[in-house]
Structure formats: structure tokens, C-alpha cells
Structure 1
Amino acid sequence: MSTVLVPLAQGCEELEAVTIIDLLRRANITVITAGLDEKPVKASRGVVLIPDTTIDQVLPETFDMIVLPGGAAGAENLNRDPRIHQLLKTLFYQGKYVAAICAAPIVLATAALLDNKQATCYPNSLKISHFPTIQLLDSPVVIDGKVITSRGPGTAMDFALILIEKLAGKPIREQVESGLMRPH
């Protein structure tokens, strides 16, 4: 069974965080949420999230994927945390998946994990003038090797379903998706 780390930073986009956590857990993927400290996380719209643990507690653990929810303030807080960069680089260089949605691809870019890759993000959250080797696309979700990026709250469900497919396979993705009653 796959294990996924979802770091939760103050100001994260709650719709993205909860959608990712919920859908992956529906697929029986182990999801660990970790705060940057021991405080509850106040998300961008005021929803308070209680992480399972802290980043310090999970640093020695092994994960199959790390997924960064967006939100401008949340992405900024993730990007300022050297532990997040360390975890991203460790997983990336182990050949594991790294994923980010909305404003959070800036964290991947700052960690140099989007160099010479295709990606997507919330409009204007990633300045191509600062990262000229990244090819930004307008697609809802972009997969480039083991790096998966997505645009924003409206693409969170598609993003989470693709994460499920990558970790658990297409039949599990289809099973989870059928229970969501999404229009075809």
C-alpha cells in the first residue's frame, strides 16, 4: 500500500487539501498530514485543519509521494521551510512522485525540481522570467515523469484522481471516481 505525505501550512487552500486527502483515502492510500509546527492550520478561507503530525516527526519516514496543496500564503509558507525542500528533493531523487497544485508548484520550482520540465500552476503564481527552463502549460493537470502539477481548486478532483491512478492503478481510480457521481 502506498503512503503519501500532505504537508499543511498556514494559509493553505482547504478545498485542495481536503479533496486530495479525502480522495486518496477513499482509494485506501495511507495519507499522513503534517503541519509545519504543532498548531492547528488555519486555511485560506478560515477553515481550521488539524494535521495528523508534524513535519519534524515524519522526516525520517519513507513516502511514495508528497503532495503540496496550494493557496498563496500556504505555498509561501511551504517554500520558506527548508524541511519541505529536503523532503521534496529526497523523494524526487529516490524516483518517487512529487506533486503540487495551484500556487504550490513554486516550491517545486524553487527546489529546482521543475527545471527542463512541463508544469502548470495557478495563473501568475510562477513567473517564467524567474524560471526560464520551465515550460508552463494551461492544462488542468500536467504529468512530466514523476512530477505532477495542477492549476487550482477547480482541478483538485482531477488532480487527486490522477494521483490515485499513479499510485494504485486505473481500476482503483475508476472505482473511486464512480462513487463520486461525477458527470461524464
Structure 2
Amino acid sequence: MFLHLISNKFKCLRYFSCNMVKKALVLVAEGSEEMECIITVDVLRRSGVHVDLAGVNGKWATKCSRGVVVLPDIELSEAKGPFDAIILPGGLGGSKAFCESKALGEMLKEQEPPTALRTHCVGFGKNLTSYPSVESQVMDGGNYTYKEDEVVVDGSLITSRGPGTAFKFALTLVEHLVGVEKAKEVARGMLTSY
């Protein structure tokens, strides 16, 4: 599962700031799902969104869930908002690190918007989806409504099922940050549809 939170501040300003470059923070930690991380970063950058890839455990090389090594642009403590979006890729190891990060919890609460969400009490009452094997963890406590759709959008919270839905997830982010025409343009350039 991975998710995206759009700042409520962004939603209020989006109609007045169409020409401003949007800013996103994508997090990575040991054990993050590399496809969810890298595809999202790549698609957002292709759409003109400024993306900071932040290491939750530091700025050094980070080994993802399938052994791919990613070098973050910055460490989480260097992340300077405000951000129009914060994206948390799935992967069991990465999700655990996200849950344990108090700094990340504060950032998520500031965004006012799934295992990290529950841990930090963010987005209660919203619809979401996740990787099937973690559904029971996400739903523990009954704070969310679970959907089995590939991508679920509920207000400022956007969630997706896993690696196979990474392009659809990323293009949905582009639609919400930059617009549907830009999402279609980027999709065409990658020889996929949206």
C-alpha cells in the first residue's frame, strides 16, 4: 500500500496558483517497495512537480524490499515544506520505519488529511485501500472504510494497492496536483493510458 496526502492548504489555493510549481515529498526507508517509490518519483517529475526523495533513516543509500538500492536526495530532517503532497510507498520494512518516525507523524498531521496513518491517527473515517496482506492491520480498530479498488481517492487521501498499480497511482497524483490534461500527456509520453 502507498498513499498520498494533499494539503488542505493546497486544496484552497489550487485554483489561484495554477502556474506555480507543485512540491511533493516522497519518503523511502529500508524495505520500502521500490516500484512504488521510483515510479511515483519519476512520473511526478515528468509532470513538472518538484519532488524531494527523503530518507527516513538518513541520506545514505537505502536498500529497498527487492534489493534495489536508492539514494535519497535529502534526509527527512532536511525536508522543508510546505508540501502539496507527501507520498509513503509501501513495503513492510518501509512501513515499519514510517510508523516509528515521530517526525513523519508530525508532518502527516500538518497535512491534515495506511499502517503509518493508523499509528499516527491520521485520516480516520476515510476510505482507503492497501496491499491485500496488510488489510487486517490497516483495518484494526475500524478507523477506515476499506475498498478493493486499485486506487482510492477520498478527499485529500489517495491510496493504492501495490506495485502493479504504481503507474495508475502516480498518474492520479498528477491529475490532482497538476490536472487531468497533464496526466494524459505524461501517460501518452510513457506509452500508457490514463
TM-score after normalising by structure 1: 0.89
Q: Structure 1 CA distance, aligned partners of 2:131 and 2:49?
A: 26
User: Counterpart of 1:182 in structure 2: which amino acid?
Assistant: T
Tell me the distance in 1 between the aligned counterparts of 2:135 and 2:82. 29
State the match for 1:46 in structure 2.
67
- Superposed, which structure 2 residues align to 1:1-184 within 5 Å? 1-36=21-56, 37-58=58-79, 60-92=80-112, 105-127=114-136, 130-182=140-192
Contact 2:36 2:163 in 1 (8 A): yes
Letter of the 1:106 counterpart: T
User: Which protein, 1 or 2, shows the higher relative CO under an 8 Å CA cutoff with sep ≥ 6?
Assistant: 2
Runs (4+) of structure 1 moved beyond 4 Å? none
Shift of 1:7: 1.0
Q: Deviations over 1:9-47 (max 9, x none)?
A: 111011110000000000010000111213211001111
Question: Are the counterparts in 2 of residues 5 and 32 from structure 1 also a CA contact under 8 Å?
Answer: yes
Q: Distance in 2 between matches of 1:13 and 1:46?
A: 10
How far, CA to CA, are the matches of 2:101 and 2:75 in structure 1? 13
Give the RMSD, CA atoms, in angstroms. Answer: 1.4
- Taking every aligned residue pair, what percent have the same amino acid on both sides? 35
Aligned positions, number: 172
- TM-score normalised by structure 2 residue count: 0.84
The answer to whether the 8 Å contact 1:116/1:134 transfers is: yes
2:73 partner letter:
D
Q: Could you tell me how far apart the structure 2 residues matched to 1:10 and 1:31 are?
A: 19
Asked whether the equivalents of residues 106 and 126 of structure 1 are also in contact (C-alpha less than 8 Å), the reply is no
CA distance in structure 1 between the partners assigned to 2:89 and 2:180 by the alignment: 23
- Partners of 1:39 and 1:25 lie apart in 2 by 22
Unaligned runs of at least 5 residues, structure 2: 1-20
SS in 2 for 1:148: strand
Task: Report if aligned partners of 2:139, 2:146 keep a CA contact under 8 Å in 1.
Answer: no
Once residues 31 and 95 of structure 2 are traced to their aligned partners in structure 1, the CA distance between those partners, rounded to angstroms, is 8
* Cα distance between partner residues in 2 of 1:80 and 1:129: 19
Residue aligned with 1:6, SS: strand
Aligned to 1:95: none
